[in-house]
Structure 1
Amino acid sequence: MPNPLFDGVVAHRVTTPRLTANVLERPAADGSTTGIPVVFIHGNVSSSLFHQPTMLALPAEVRALAIDLRGFGDSETLPVDATRGVRDFSDDVASVLHALGVERAHLVGWSMGGGVVMQLMLDHPELIETVTLEAPVSPYGFGGTAGADGHRLDEVGAGTGGGAANPDFVARIDAGDTSDESPTSPRTVYRTAYVKDPSRDTHEDIWVESMLTTKTGVDNYPGDSVPTDAWPGFAAGRRGVLNTLAPTNFDTSAIAGLAIKPAVLWVHGVDDAIVSDGSFFDINMLGKIGAIPGWPGDEIAPPQPMVTQTRAVLERYRAAGGAVTELALEDCGHAPHLDQAAAFDAALAAHIGAA
């Protein structure tokens, strides 16, 4: 396995009252720790390693930081209280920034990390200079909602949370599987769901290593679930990563009403297999195509229009005075910073330069 750290990137251990976190840094060219840094928050089943190409591509005067969330990468493994939504993660990030002496930052959140950034907008607005949402989870969470307004389908989050994870995928993470022998191996999932064209990238082994840092179990990934009489027979639990994004626990749509609105850049791929208006990681979508039997139909369990929901919230944000730029990239999957690196890097540099 190659060294997972790229030349020019260094790792730090940062201890806060909440956790000991691993932080990657691409220092500013002059070694300065002053100025406004760019802070990257990774998504689910990944780590800060994924952000290294973007960190290195930023202008030389930028201090770039990437934080491993609890239970991912080389950060401390601590239980995740999903009843707080993603606040265990967002409060951790805030504590790390305080420990580093970072008073304000340009925040970049990828996938679940986008949800963490939106929660920071609500709970820690003083930390934020600008926001970049890369293929973010819907402001209404993952699964179990419908319509542009994100209304919940039921009170228990049927079909969402920890029970929605493929158990073989979880077992292969736990076993450290680096093969491509199965559709559920992390390497295959990376190739088929994270990026549109894996042949473009020469760092696949590092990305798979990053995925395999995910800590498994009911308190981490994927979390617990509870039985329900509603299809598909399970509902959101109260522990672990996937339950943080269940609609019973997560809703950041209130960002539209913030009094102070940092400029937002929203970047997403039009071929995203994970966050879309027809995601094949949405249990209701899998039921609709017949992959899970017994689907009760669109009236009861429609697929979640994830991108439509994000757009609706950001349109309200803009209408209330916030600056929003949307960049929808063609030939691009769930990782625009890998699939369309040049376009993503240029958009991010322009966005933070315009602050």
Structure 2
Amino acid sequence: MNPLADLKLSMLDLVPVREGGTVAEALATSLRTARHVEALGFTRYWLAEHHNMPGIASSATAVLVGYIAGQTERIRVGSGGIMLPNHAPLVVAEAFGTLAELYPGRIDLGLGRAPGTDAMTLRALRRDRIETEADFPRDVAELQRLLGPRQPDQRVIAVPGVGTEVPIWLLGSSLFSARLAAERGLPYAFASHFAPAMLLQAIELYRHNFRPSEKWEKPYVIIGVPVIAAPTDAEADFLATSTFQRVLGILRGERGLLPPPVAGFLQSIPPRERAGIADFLGAAVIGSPERVRDGLRDLRAATGADEMMVVSDIFDPELRLRSLEIASRACWQPAPADSPDAGPTP
């Protein structure tokens, strides 16, 4: 039996701008990718909020959610996530309430508590507002009220928004959001695509402390997984050097456009930086269909994830589409040994 047969696959897109490319091309590539994974049977297509980063074109996240939802048919589209320190909850409720009215039953609201940028840009986004640890839980509760049924004594109404009950997801890379999601009975997405260190601990805490809510009777876990798939391990390793260069830039504080792959890249940098990239991409699955299948199986066995959200930063858009198709087949099609037509093992 294929242990991945019931696993849901989704995609997180940062809308990478490639070297030699434009923002308009990056946006068009994201739409094409969303349509592609919808045809493959993916469940969701989420977009991440980041600011003041030349290589990422997803800063106006709600706008992009509408762009993708308006030109797809079935796939759920949402934020992975909206960074609440940057926004007033009422504005978020109105934006996603509008999206929910335009595309009923297809919009997700993933929420993060990091600003998704540097301190200088944070000040530009929210002026002089100083965030405290109590703000995020309070803002989440306010969003739940604004998107829920109107209460008799409610004086501030999100229009659109009220009564839409857009599904709220909590995102995180530490234990804080795991604990809050468990207390509120909300689904939880762990950012293991860039910070896998606390993945198992956060999931265990979330599941152990989960309190059933009106909408979620049991815990539900998404994990982020960087995936680079190709017909051979060697080609996948080569294509992954674009991601390695991007991660190294993050570690060095040098953010730029997504670069083309470079042969022998890891061998060209010091061991300490290779180790930093390996830690950042500790949950990555890179390789041929067989290696990808094994990697996804191992992650599923370790985490019991209900859903995996793929991140695939490949320089050539065509090869990214191919990678996603290979990953979906590796996940959902039986391996030769699992096939009902396979003969006994000699």
TM-score (norm 1): 0.33
Larger Rg: 2
TM-score (norm 2): 0.34
Higher helix share: 2
